[in-house]
Every structure is written in structure tokens, then in C-alpha cells.
Structure 1
Amino acid sequence: MIEIINEIDKQMTKLIECPRDAMQGLHAFIPTEIKAEYINLLLQVGFDTLDFGSFVSPKAIPQLRDTAEVLDKLDLKENGTKLLAIVANNKGITEAIKHPQINYLGFPFSVSETFQQKNTNSGIEKSLLTVEELINQCSKTNKEAVIYLSMGFGNPYGDEWSDEIVAHWASELTKRGAKILSLADTTGVSNPEKINYLFPHLVKTFPNVEFGVHLHSNPTNWLEKIEASWNSGCRRFDSALRGFGGCPMAEDGLTGNIATESLISFLEAKGEVLGLDMEKWNEAMRYSGRVFG
């Protein structure tokens, strides 16, 4: 285990900022121009990846129906930040791969059959076929697939959950070519004990996969989750400015994303050199009031 964690320590910490996750549950439509200006500010901060939008049914997520229009307004010249967009079915994949600016396509794969139906209107077995198509299309279009193991730390829907079940589905995904898996704490039920066991266990079992965390929390328990993830060897973290958002399909208003500013403070305290433009970050923080009110 020490060897595995030391090997991960050599990797650069990757920060994924998620304005898409923060905006998707808002009811009042944010004008396209404001979304684009906000994301352009975040692009100048220097994050590894920006999870900026999704190609899903506007009936499901009406807030993000203008993702393609936002993308056309982004200034990507001389910018090292990669773009990630979420897809939920083959139609979304077909639309997303048309855009060469996008580097990553993400798919939420739930270990809970109930939540997979709620989130993508398809069951687990059909979603495996979608993952296969996603990975196939990404290989043809110079993109990478990011598969989120949704409900990765438990679920409130009564479906059976265990570490073994999570590992089983991780195995099925890697057999189909998945190279990046993000453990998603969709309803905020993770705790240090679960993270400390499950994350290193998966890293050891699937050494050729890059694992990350997409954690949700309330304001009182974010630190213990990030600390456990860091100590378990995680170097790929999703977060959102001010901790806005969460998953609108989860019907849980108590948990939001991990706040990016909190994550930055934590990593700097660990001695990480993040290389972020904090002046632009503060500008994005100020501008966020126009987005979130």
C-alpha cells in the first residue's frame, strides 16, 4: 500500500472545477452570455480541467440547453485548461463529439439501478452499452472518457451496496476500456472510513486506471472527506466555486459540491504548488454573484 501511495504522490494534483455541476440545478435560466463570461474567467485561473456543460435532454436539465452556444463563446487560445462535458446517452455522445474543443466526455454510471434509471433513464446493463459506445467514439475523436461511479459510497434508495459491488462495476468498466474513474459521492454519504478503504483498494486492484473523487458534502464535513482522500493517495479532485450545486436528480438539497476555495486552501497547506492565477480566481468569485445571485 505504501508503494502505491508513494507512486501516486509523484503525480501532479489535478483540480477539476465544475461550474456545470453548480449551475445545472438552478431554476432561473442564466443567460448564455453570462455563463460564457463566467467560464472564460475560470479558464484563466489555470485549472487542469473545467467541467463546463452537458449534452443531455433539455427536459432533464433545462439550464444547460445552451452548452453548444456557450462553447462557441469560450476563449481557448493559449489556454492549458481542458474541457469536460457530460453525456447521458448515445444521442448526447453524437452531439458532443462534433466539438473538437472538448477534451473529455463524462458519463455518470451508477452502481444503484434505481439511481441509474433516475439519472439517465436507462438501467445499468444498457448504460454499459453506452459506456462502450462512448469509449469507442472517444478513441476515434481524440477525446478521453471519464466514467463517474455514481453512488460510489452508498445510496439511499434501498439498492444493495458494498465495496465489492463498487469494485465489480469498476472491473466491468475497465474491461470495456475505461481509463479514468471518478468515485462520486452523489448524496454525500461518504465518510473517512469508507474512503480510506475503498480508494486505495481500487487503486491497488486496477493499477492502470486513474482514480479521482467527486465528493459532495455539507459545510461541516468537507475537510474530513478531502483529508481522507488525500491520505488515501487521491490526486484528482472535483470541486465547485463556493460549493454550489450538487446533483438535481438525487433530490437532496442538503449536500453540495466541495468548495474549490476550501480545496485550494487544503492543498496549499499540504505544500502543493498549484500554479493558479489567484487574481483571476478572485475575479471569478466576484463575478459568480451574477450567476448564482
Structure 2
Amino acid sequence: MKLIECPRDAMQGWPDFIPTATKTAYLNQLLRVGFDTLDFGSFVSPKAIPQLRDTAEVLAGLNLSQTKTKLLAIVANLRGAETAAGYPEIQYLGFPLSVSETFQQRNTNKSIAEALAEVAQMQNLCEQRGKELVVYLSMGFGNPYGDPWNPEVLGQFTQKLDALGIRIVALSDTIGASTPETIIPPFRELTAAFPHIEFGAHLHTTPQSWREKVEAAYSAGCRRFDGALGGIGGCPMAADELTGNMATENLVQYLQEQGVPTGLDLAALREAQRMSAAVFAGH
């Protein structure tokens, strides 16, 4: 079981700039919890995501000497990937590849074909630099634009990523459209068809729907989950009425109920929750 904490996703759309020192202190607390991976920042245009323009400064302040947690940075193009790959502390580069043509244009100003060509270049870069590319299939559970969606579409995308040597693929519920009916078939089919690929779930939920979504993904074979403390965040590029991220504390609760060991320091997690409430106060 891998839990990926995503403060980057919580922060990126936050209306008030969170000071660099505040971000750094919060991330250092999250590093004490024992998550598998911390999705900590992004190397994208400051015009697109002004909140994360200080990712390099934040990285310089992280205490990585006593943590097993690995760092993941989101990139939107090859240029960002080259920047991120230059930092030895970063192990994973994450790239959002949409199965919706409309959203791919909206999110990265590229067609799916252009984005796939760039994914191939990023994968080569990662192989050269000893990094691992994580591809998020955004709009992974349906989209509001009328673009085709079904498990077969996800399978076709995964086949292309598999051919490039990509080994971590996260299905992403960019707008909170997922239901158990759209979660179970893709995970069931993909984990069977591509046993050598690690499939993750990046789910957006409401307080009422989180449990059924986690249960659906877990029962269908998913063992990698993204979350954000407090359920804060979403995708600012979707420009729709958004549900929040999957709340990490809910994920932990579900796994504890199932008797699944999380390996987390629960005292450090509680302190991180307290800090999160302070970081994201006032809205």
C-alpha cells in the first residue's frame, strides 16, 4: 500500500500566496509522517500557477536527511521536466496526460498527440537522469466535455505508456465525476492487463462520497492512493465547480478499518493536520 500526500494539489489553487517559510515548515512536518511520496511542488509557469513559483526555494529548505518519503514534482512540459530533473532530491516527475482532448488543450495548450510525443521525451530524460515518470490520466473517470470515455480508452492510453516504459499510471478524477460504477471496471481491467504497472487513484470527493470511492478502488485492486490533508484542493485548470481532494485522514481511517498497515507515524500525522488547518485558514 502506498499513500501519496499531495500538498502541491492543495496549495496550487489557494487564493492567497502562502509564504515560502510556511510552505517549507508544513512540508517538513509532512516528511515526518512517513508517506511513501510527497507531491510537494511543481515546475510550471508562474503565470499559470503563481502559488508555486517558489518551489525551488521550498525544496532548498526541506529536511530530507531523516525521512524515507520520496519527492514528486509536477511538470507541464519538457522544459519543466528538465528543470525538475536537475534536482537530485526529486525522484519522481509527474505529468498530467488527459484522455479528454478538450481538457488536454485547456490544461497544457497541446493536443493529446503532442502531449504523448512530449511524454516520450520526458521518459527518455527520466531514464537518463535516474528519475521515474508518473503519468496521471486526467479526466480518468469521465469528463463534462462529451469526449469519449470508457475503460477501453484508458486501456489504449496505458498501452501507449507501457510501450514507452512508464511504470506508474494514476487515474485522476479531475472534476469529481467518479462513482463506484466508473472506478471499479478500469482498475479491475487495467491491473489484470498490465500487472507490471503500478496504478494509482487520484480521487476528488465530497465529504459524503469519499468512502464509496476509496472502497471501490481498493476492492478493484488499487494499492496506490493520493490524498491531501483536510481534503483541500482541486484542479484550477478545470474551471468548474470542484469537489476537494481525497482527505488523507479518511484514507487512513479506511485502511485502519480494513486492518491494512499504513506505516505512518500517527502523532506526526495529527501535528500535520493541526498545521494544515493553520496554513489553509481563512477561506
Establish whether TM, by shorter chain, passes 0.5.
yes
2:83 is the alignment partner of 1:64:
no
Mapped to 1, the partners of 2:118 and 2:244 lie a distance apart of: 27
**How big is the shift at 1:203?**
1.1
Residue 232 of structure 1: which of 220, 242, 251 is its match? 220
Mapped to 1, the partners of 2:6 and 2:265 lie a distance apart of: 17
Q: Which residue of 1 aligns with 2:17?
A: 29
Which letter maps to 2:112? I
Mapped to 2, the partners of 1:179 and 1:275 lie a distance apart of: 23
Q: Which residue of 1 aligns with 2:140?
A: 152
- Aligned residue pairs total 281
Contact in 2 for aligned 1:34/1:290 (Cα 8 Å): no
TM-score of the pair, normalised by structure 1 = 0.94
Cα deviation code 1:204-251 (max 9, x no counterpart): 111211111101111111100000111111110000001000111112
Which letter maps to 1:41? Q
Mapped to 1, the partners of 2:277 and 2:186 lie a distance apart of: 37
Mapped to 2, the partners of 1:80 and 1:229 lie a distance apart of: 26
Which letter maps to 2:159? S
Q: Which residue of 1 aligns with 2:101?
A: 113
Contact in 1 for aligned 2:175/2:243 (Cα 8 Å): yes
Matches within 5 A, 1:43-58: 43-58=31-46
Cα deviation code 1:233-270 (max 9, x no counterpart): 11100000010001111123331100000000000111
Mapped to 2, the partners of 1:18 and 1:195 lie a distance apart of: 20
Which letter maps to 1:185? D
Contact in 2 for aligned 1:145/1:178 (Cα 8 Å): yes
**How big is the shift at 1:140?**
1.2
Which letter maps to 1:263? L
Mapped to 2, the partners of 1:275 and 1:91 lie a distance apart of: 36
2:74 is the alignment partner of 1:86:
yes
Mapped to 1, the partners of 2:52 and 2:20 lie a distance apart of: 9
Mapped to 1, the partners of 2:41 and 2:159 lie a distance apart of: 28
Q: Which runs of 4+ in 1 moved over 4 A?
A: none
Residue 87 of structure 2: which of 99, 114, 131 is its match? 99
2:27 is the alignment partner of 1:39:
yes
2:257 is the alignment partner of 1:269:
yes
Q: Which residue of 2 aligns with 1:194?
A: 182
**How big is the shift at 1:55?**
0.4
2:4 is the alignment partner of 1:16:
yes
Residue 281 of structure 1: which of 243, 264, 269 is its match? 269
Q: Which residue of 2 aligns with 1:256?
A: 244
Q: Which residue of 2 aligns with 1:122?
A: 110
Cα deviation code 1:135-190 (max 9, x no counterpart): 11111111111000111110001212222111111111111111100010111111
**How big is the shift at 1:54?**
0.4
**How big is the shift at 1:33?**
0.5
**How big is the shift at 1:289?**
2.8
SS class of match (2:96):
strand
Mapped to 1, the partners of 2:185 and 2:141 lie a distance apart of: 11
Contact in 2 for aligned 1:146/1:181 (Cα 8 Å): yes
Mapped to 2, the partners of 1:281 and 1:28 lie a distance apart of: 25
More off after superposition, 72-81 vs 251-260: 251-260
**How big is the shift at 1:122?**
1.1
Mapped to 2, the partners of 1:276 and 1:205 lie a distance apart of: 31
SS class of match (2:133):
strand
Query: Which ranges of structure 2 fall in alignment gaps of 5 or more residues?
Result: none
SS class of match (2:213):
helix
SS class of match (1:99):
coil
Query: How large is the RMSD of aligned CA atoms in angstroms?
Result: 0.9
2:250 is the alignment partner of 1:292:
no
Mapped to 2, the partners of 1:225 and 1:116 lie a distance apart of: 24
Query: Which ranges of structure 1 fall in alignment gaps of 5 or more residues?
Result: 1-12
